[in-house]
A and B are shown apart, each in its own frame.
Chain A
Amino acid sequence: MADTVTFRLNDKNVTVPKGWTVMQAAKQEKVDIPHFCWHPGLSVAGVCRFCMVHVQGARKLEIACNLQATEGMVVRTDTPEVKEAHKWGLEFHLINHPLDCPVCDQAGECGLQDFYMEVGKYPSQMTRPKVLKPKAVDLGPRLILDTERCILCSRCVRFEEEVTKTNALGIFDRGDRAIIGTYGEEKIAHNYQENLVDICPVGAFTSKKFRFKQRVWFLQEKSTICPGCSTGCKIQVHARTDRRTYYRVKPQTDEAVNGFWMCDKGRDTITHLNRESRLPQAQMMIEGKKQTVPVPQALNSLQRAIAAAGAQHTALLVSAHYTVEEYQAFFDYFCTQLGVKTIYQWRGDKEDRDAFDGILWRGDENPNTAGLLASLSQIQGRKVEARNELVACVAQDPKVLIALCPEVPFTSTWFQGDLAKLEGISHVSLWTCRYEATEAAGITSWIPMKGFAEKTGHFLNYQGAKRELEEAFPSAAASALSVVEAVQQLALPQPSVTL
């Protein structure tokens, strides 16, 4: 077999593709080789000198990140010499480190801290004054840099070179005076800043939005898909369920979709999920006044409106922010069962949709466009794409309109603006998770919806790749429903609450 090599890693024979490094092989085999500067999404720097391994026959220890596995090589990660190198490697990393863990946001997820707990737990031998460097340096709208905490692993510099290709960061000066910085007074301005916070193995880069907000060990994490655009990055949402508050979003690895990264715009897609932004209950316009009502009452009134107007005078206005499962349930009920024939899809402006920044962000800022189109293709009826032509389309007379509002702020605000242009519809039922939507004019009833992190299901991204919203948090809005649940309630033979 010419394309693979087999070598010995500790007590096991390991076969990996030719050209792989020992580090890559160890990752695959779940053998832990501690490292700071190596990152699977970046080039090899080989500067932290931490991933030392013992190679039989070699004169000295080798770094696993730049050591290509060769046939018959014998590698050990646990010899006394390796352990000694780790201990001293850690000592070198820590002598000038401020050790301000109690006030550092990275505490709890810090490479230095974790590794100290694993191999350290000894008093420092450093008894001299430490090297002092600039702290709390403002490097951009989302970034703060503490150059004292920095271990100069150069991950951030390589990210700027290789991923965003903006080359905004450099290492200035040399020796133990070296610091990370931008050129002159420049600030980092791109849409991928917080990846620098993610890849920083210590607390040097912190996020302006997250710093000092929450200790990471109080956060619960759930895997889901970013609702920000049609790329559909795999993400992890971090929240405190006891407070029903979302704090941050981190990318997860999905080689085929987002690799290791996500954009900053995507990181802002959680704030609307917090309690203060949520529509907690259904609302209705009763005698010209907005009133909070139980969800069944609002649904019941919608049902009666449809019954009165007839399916031919009912239309659906659908945005591409809901799961495949939700669309199926929605169309199944309204189109197949009730016979609604008019469906408007709202997907933003056509001219913006094909935009792509060359990294991850796409102009189609809807996470499930492909899923919506696939679901639509299975039903009969008049399907109109409505954005610029919305008023003209809707003017063709529906008396009842059921609108699925996009959930992330930057698209939903836009959607609501469009909705406000509609006049003459007797009942508009807006299904939304956002409290802000109750400000919109011309709406008859508001149904509180669950956000993307509060439900399971699937999105199809721009490639048609099916990705799962794996886990759901409890909703911050107590009576929020998914579209599936709302439709189930509508389909009940008799409404459970009547006025």
Chain B
Amino acid sequence: MEFPKILTRFENIPNSRALATYEKHGGYEAARKVLGQKPEEVIALVKDSGLRGRGGAGFPTGLKWSFVPKSADTVYLLCNNDEGEPGTFKDRYILELSPHMLIEGMIIAAHAIGAKKAYIYTRCEFYDEIRWMNEAIEEAYKAGYLGANLLGTKLHIDLDHYIGAGAYICGEETGLISSLEGKKGQPKLKPPFPAVSGYLGKPTIVNNTETLAAVPWIITHGAAAYKAMGTEKSPGTKLFCVSGPVKKPGVFERPLGYPLKKLIFEDAGGMIDGKQLKAVIPGGASAPVLLPAEIETLTLDYEAIAAAGSMLGSGAVMVIPHDQPMMELLRILVNFFHHESCGQCTPCREGTGWLANIVQGVEEKTALPEDIEKLYQIALHMEGRTICALSDAAAMPTKAITKKFADELKQTIYANSRLGG
């Protein structure tokens, strides 16, 4: 079956990262087209396309752009290329295929919001991607797509590439801003929102790499063509990262609303070695786990997954086989969030530590079966209580696992305890 290719249209094209290749396939035509238009027209088009933020929250992109105050003199555009959500490897794939697609998207976005300075914030672990991105930026400057009087206009857009130190919290948009400002990567209190007061206190728009990379296609093909794909409320395509013991793990570009089971069992080839499906995490580590029964007819769009009690998130589909002990999964998850909590807000700082501490008790054979309910209660009261969503990100999967696999977890504790001998 053929699927629309927007973000992956450079798959299987030799030398796809080169500017020449990009130009040959219509590269920078969208930017050229847009720079003659008024920013409001560009925002209206993106709004009309229904494009939603691909970083996890799914906020309408055009609407976000329109929040920048008209009177602002200095506006910043930041590309969140920090991709830290466990299970997610889609943004780096875009950079692997075509970094120019991101640059072009950023030129368009910068023009739409009136930014003269844009930054890409990439985590330091992406060694190759950093290099490819830097090369592309250099090429774009040389070819006159960036800098003063770009593309023969009076516009001036500068693009810088900033390398973060790899903290998960710096992928949170205000944490990213703090980090870019040279401070400790800690999320900022909202309000004020970044669109009003962000980087260096100026209006700032932070967009995910995948979001920005989709923009040139939308400009070229129009809002209607984009809306023709996906569902009514979740239009367009999305990159899904399938990981776990499946035959063909990888990145798949599919229209939103695509059936999850089909993605796992047809596109990714199903389970390896006769393993059975035990559970699926549909949107990255912070998304609540779903049982096979819950995904029977589940489609991959923001609304359907939310209705099923989880979230589309970053589109990281993690497949969990029947032989995966859930205590092990829980331990990995809570340890991750404990390690990554910035420590600002008390419920998250103490809560993530407490969760990890209790799970540690299982290994030390001191845990009690009632600890499972305690984990659930702690997670319940960590949720919705903090500045950013990291606390929720730790709480949601903990709640789901301790609820859905309570019996198994208790058995693990019993078998592991001095009680069970």
Contact = CB atoms under 8 A, between A and B. Distances in A.
B345 A175 contact: no
Interface secondary structure of A, over-half rule: loop
B386 interface: yes
A152 B338 CA distance: 16
Given A66-B191, A152-B346, A176 B385 contact: no
A176 B353 CA distance: 6
Nearest to A88: B381
A44 B190 CA distance: 11
Contacts of A88: 347, 381, 385
Contacts of B354: 92, 95, 126, 128
A490 interface: no
B384 A60 contact: yes
Given A95-B354, A176-B353, A48 B361 contact: no
B80 interface: no
B352 interface: yes
Contacts of A66: 189, 191
A34 interface: no
B189 A48 contact: no
A178 B343 contact: yes
A85 B341 CA distance: 20
A174 B341 contact: yes
Contacts of B350: 92-93, 95-96, 176
Given A60-B384, A96-B353, A175-B341, A47 B358 contact: no
A88 B346 CA distance: 10
B412 to A, nearest CB: 17
A213 interface: no
A497 interface: no
A171 B184 CA distance: 9
A468 to B, nearest CB: 39
B277 to A, nearest CB: 33
Contact of A85 (B184, B360, B385): B385
B344 interface: yes
Interface in A190-222: none
A151 B346 contact: yes
B191 A175 contact: no
A93 B346 contact: yes
Interface in B317-352: 338-347, 349-352
A52 B383 CA distance: 13
B353 A175 contact: yes
Contact of A152 (B191, B340, B349, B381): B349
B387 interface: yes
A289 interface: no
B342 A89 contact: no
Interface in B359-382: 360-361, 366, 374, 381
Interface string A41-69: 00011111110100000011100001010
Contact of B189 (A45, A68, A131): A45
A151 B350 CA distance: 10
Interface string A158-201: 00000000000011011111100000000000000000000000
Contacts of B191: 66, 68
B37 interface: no
Given A95-B350, A126-B354, A173 B343 contact: yes
A123 interface: no
Contact of A52 (B352, B374, B385, B387): B385
Contacts of A151: 346
B353 A131 contact: yes
Contacts of A129: 357
Nearest to B380: A88
Interface secondary structure of B, over-half rule: helix
Contacts of A61: 384-385
Contacts of B349: 92, 152, 175-176, 178
Nearest to A151: B346
Interface centre among A46, A50, A59 (most CB of B within 10 A): A46
A128 B346 contact: no
A125 interface: yes
A47 B381 CA distance: 15
Interface centre among B351, B353, B374 (most CB of A within 10 A): B353
Interface string B181-214: 0001000010100000000000000000000000
B343 A174 contact: yes
A174 B345 CA distance: 11
A92 B366 CA distance: 21
B52 to A, nearest CB: 19
B351 A46 contact: no
Interface string B36-80: 000000000000000000000000000000000000000000000
Interface in A110-127: 125-126
Interface in B14-35: none
B187 to A, nearest CB: 10
Contacts of A170: 184
A480 to B, nearest CB: 50
A176 B340 CA distance: 10
Contacts of A126: 354
A175 B346 contact: no
A49 B341 contact: no
Given A85-B381, A177-B343, A46 B189 contact: yes
A450 to B, nearest CB: 47
Contacts of A125: 374
Contacts of A84: 381
A112 to B, nearest CB: 11
B374 A174 contact: no
Contacts of B387: 46-47
Contacts of A96: 350, 353
A464 to B, nearest CB: 38
Interface in B151-170: 167, 169
A456 to B, nearest CB: 44
Nearest to B387: A46
Contacts of A44: 189
A421 to B, nearest CB: 57
Nearest to B368: A127
Contact of A176 (B169, B338, B361, B386): B338
B347 A47 contact: no
Q: Considering the complex of A and B, which 7 residue pairs feature the smallest CB-CB distances, nearest first?
A: A176-B353, A178-B343, A88-B381, A60-B384, A92-B350, A175-B341, A46-B189
17 contacts: A49-B345, A60-B385, A66-B189, A88-B381, A89-B346, A89-B347, A93-B346, A125-B374, A128-B360, A128-B361, A152-B346, A170-B184, A174-B340, A175-B353, A176-B352, A176-B353, A177-B343
Given A46-B387, A96-B350, A126-B354, 12 more contacts: A48-B346, A49-B385, A85-B385, A92-B354, A95-B350, A96-B353, A128-B357, A128-B358, A151-B346, A173-B343, A175-B342, A178-B349
Interface of A: 44-50, 52, 59-61, 66, 68, 84-85, 88-89, 91-93, 95-96, 125-126, 128-129, 131, 151-152, 154, 170-171, 173-178
Interface of B: 167, 169, 184, 189, 191, 338-347, 349-354, 357-358, 360-361, 366, 374, 381, 384-387
